[in-house]
Structure 1
């Protein structure tokens, strides 16, 4: 199955686990945006749409603004054949530090996804408070993984090639959309929280 990698603002630089995954996962494709530093929601969504149509059933892996891009893709194009998604450290574009740069991605989509998904959040992410990530996981009907204190889950987090993330990616097929009763629970932990 193809893995489509969707970096966030400024792209994922050297040392980021997303670049390692592009090297390590045989059937992985970088969804290349025209301008990583001046994100345009319409253009980014259209580029991602073309990538999904070229790789129906693909798993999407988004980091930061790339995770928010996946949410917009799901809301704007529910007919797309997306196999599942791993949303890592989504950026809160409604309260972001660089709000003027990412303002076009607000408001955050508020519809459940039509595909299985896992949202990975950190307890000390400067771009998304954990409680806010928990709310988004419930809204999007994503399983929530508490990564503990891992910052923005990027190169500075010291994750290297992030093997734990690869294991989560492999579990997406097994994630089911929560039943209405399960939706009342604040989160669904798939892995033990890190320290």
Structure 2
């Protein structure tokens, strides 16, 4: 996929992605990458977060690949459940990393407004990366979300929430999943041509 013909939209989760987070590193490394900024990273509001994503997708006609982490994954699902077909057609795919299960019993109150999690298949190729020891979503729950969303899934061993706290600063290995997603997007495009 030619980097000039695609934008990468980075969607951090609750409390944002600090400078040392892999999403910030990827934003600096990937061509045509930008971040979906939120008004309040600490007190997330479903409507506001979905509207911010909508505005970013709408801002240019250039096709996008979404790179979401944690609550950003749920934001993608909520946006896709209500966006029009013209905007959905601009999204070529989504990499969904360590989705936050906002329906779990121990979910922080600040995130509970994002429940219920949409269960519709996302209308673009997706790859979900979870972990077998993520406190925000068990491996079984991550696989369940992947099934609902129609995403290919990879479950990492001992990767935690795939964030700074779990030692994922640059997360260069994660580019493998982005590359796989982009290959899948290209294969689908060739089939349609």
- TM-score over 0.5 for the alignment? yes
| Unpaired stretches in structure 2, ≥5 consecutive residues | 1-5, 186-193
Aligned residue pairs total 176
Alpha-carbon shift at residue 98 of structure 1 (Å):
4.5
**Counterparts in 2 of 1:164 and 1:9: CA distance versus 1, 3 Å:** same
Alpha-carbon shift at residue 97 of structure 1 (Å):
3.5
Within the alignment, does 1:8 sit opposite 2:8 as a pair?
A: no
Query: Which position in structure 2 is the counterpart of 1:76?
Result: 82
Map Cα deviations across residues 52-72 of structure 1 (whole Å, 9 max, x no partner): 112442000110001111111
Query: Which position in structure 2 is the counterpart of 1:142?
Result: 151
Residue range with higher mean Cα deviation, 132-141 or 165-174: 165-174
Instruction: Find 1:45's aligned residue among 20, 40, 50.
Output: 50
Q: TM-score, normalised to structure 1's length?
A: 0.85
Tell me the secondary structure at the aligned position of residue 4 of structure 1: strand
Matches of 2:151 and 2:183, distance apart in 1: 12
- Equivalent residues in 2 for 1:158-173, closer than 5 Å: 158-173=167-182
Instruction: Find 1:54's aligned residue among 44, 52, 59.
Output: 59
Matches of 1:70 and 1:27, distance apart in 2: 19
Residue range with higher mean Cα deviation, 148-157 or 98-107: 98-107
Map Cα deviations across residues 155-180 of structure 1 (whole Å, 9 max, x no partner): 1222331112122112213337xxxx
Contact 1:91–1:127, Cα closer than 8 Å, also in 2:
yes
Matches of 2:63 and 2:80, distance apart in 1: 13
Within the alignment, does 1:121 sit opposite 2:130 as a pair?
A: yes
| Unpaired stretches in structure 1, ≥5 consecutive residues | 177-195
Tell me the secondary structure at the aligned position of residue 91 of structure 2: coil
Cα root mean square deviation, aligned: 1.4
Tell me the secondary structure at the aligned position of residue 128 of structure 2: strand
